[in-house]
Amino acid sequence: MKLLKFINIKAILLLASVCILLLSFLKDTEYVKSSPLAKLFVTRSNSQETPEITETQKIVSEESIVIDIVERSLPSVVTIGISKKTQTQGSIEIDPNNPFSPFRRVEGEEKTIEQNIGSGFIISKDGIIITNKHVVFDTKASYTVLTDGKEEYDVTKIYRDPLNDLAILKIEATDLVPLALGDSSKLKLGQLAIAIGTPLGEFQNTITTGIVSGLGRGITAGSPFQGFVEELSNVIQTDAAISPGNSGGPLLNSSGQVVGVNTAIAGDGQNIGFAIPVNVVKELISTFESQGGTFERPYIGVRYNMVDKRTAMLNEVVEGAFIETVIKDSPADLAGVKEEDIITRVDGKKLDGENEQSLAKIILNKKVGDTMDLDVWRDGKVLQITITLEAFSE
């Protein structure tokens, strides 16, 4: 290309005019096509069009992948609705005809509130659905499932995982279309991510696309409805737009397989969403099936936040699990664990907020009835406390 800069413009115009004149006198079409001069012009013309064609084909190919995945997946994605009876606030009335009459109290009315609050996806033909636990946390409410085909089902059973923000729902249905579950351990940074759900509870079957932005993230997620936070480790980060109402919906890869459950967003950032890896879901399903359709998960009865090395140095404390709340009459309470304690070791293993050696992970590998030996830092002293794990009950 640099040689073109040294060619005289007049010479180029003269050469072009000669070529055009010569070609106009050639009557043999085959000869024109096979002549070196004709080939020069054809080759240069094609070389200019090829990049545009290639780029168009690439765009069409990427769009086709997403469109195909969406068309295959939508019948398997559901919207979850809540129905709950509430009492409206009472009021005080005055007789307009007699302002001196005593006040009369009017009791509030009982109303039923119905609202779409989250998303989920089907994993079996006979009505097993996965969603987030925080979507169906209210044990006094009833829930419904709305499919892509606008069929509504009552949720007959809910199994909430006490250690993960996941729940299994059961509806009475047959011949549903389940989604295929992928392998989140094989995810790569930068690969395609597709999120499907019902953002804000009203825009059903919303599709957003992005990439896998991060792996192995550790976050603390909270729900204003529940009033407490949960520690989530090893989650997937994506820039596919996720909004309230997307919770529980699937995060899909380029094969249309579920690789995560959309769970949380960063409130102080844009396009920073998080999903629980699907391998955690598969472990949950395996436990659920092995225990005959129920959950028996061990728990100690605390809510905590991990203290990493930096936080420990700034606050002049030690690394470990900082106890925010101790549930009354729980195993931790009965063993003597108190709020503001910091658990530094479990069975001799150091708890590390940076390497995700978290308390929840250790408990997850225990069974009901097992014991845990804790090193607890309290007021500058280290105490030894033994806890016997009990089964979690709602």
CATH code: domain of residue 266: 2.40.10.10
pLDDT tens figures, 178-234: 999 999 999 999 999 999 999 998 899 999 999 999 998 878 776 544 545 677 878
Q: Which of 171, 197, 229 is the last residue of a domain?
A: 171
pLDDT tens figures, 287-306: 888 877 776 778 898 888 88
Q: Tell me how many domains the chain contains.
A: 4
The active-site residue, picked from 161, 165, 341, 375, is 165
> Is residue 64 situated within a structural domain?
no
Same domain, 90 and 51: no
- Catalytic: 91? no
pLDDT of amino acid 116: 87
pLDDT at residue 383 tops 50: yes
The active-site residue, picked from 247, 341, 358, 375, is 247
Q: In 3D, which of 131, 125, 82, 90 has the Cα closest to residue 107?
A: 90
Same domain, 328 and 251: no
> Is residue 27 situated within a structural domain?
yes
Distance CA 200, CA 116 (A): 8
> Is residue 65 situated within a structural domain?
no
- Catalytic: 134? yes
**Range of 44's domain?**
9-55
Check which CATH number belongs to the domain holding 312 and give it.
2.30.42.10
> Is residue 67 situated within a structural domain?
no
Same domain, 284 and 188: yes
Q: Which of 110, 138, 171 is the last residue of a domain?
A: 171
Same domain, 193 and 278: yes
DSSP letter, residue 224:
T
Long-range contacts of 252-255 (CB under 8 A, 24+ apart): 252/69, 252/73, 252/179, 252/193, 252/194, 252/195, 252/196, 253/182, 253/187, 253/191, 253/192, 253/193, 253/194, 254/65, 254/69, 254/191, 254/192, 255/69, 255/180, 255/182
The active-site residue, picked from 73, 76, 119, 134, is 134
Please give the residue that has the higher pLDDT: either 313 or 5. 313
Q: The dihedral of CA 39, 41, 45, 48: what is its sign?
A: positive
Same domain, 348 and 270: no
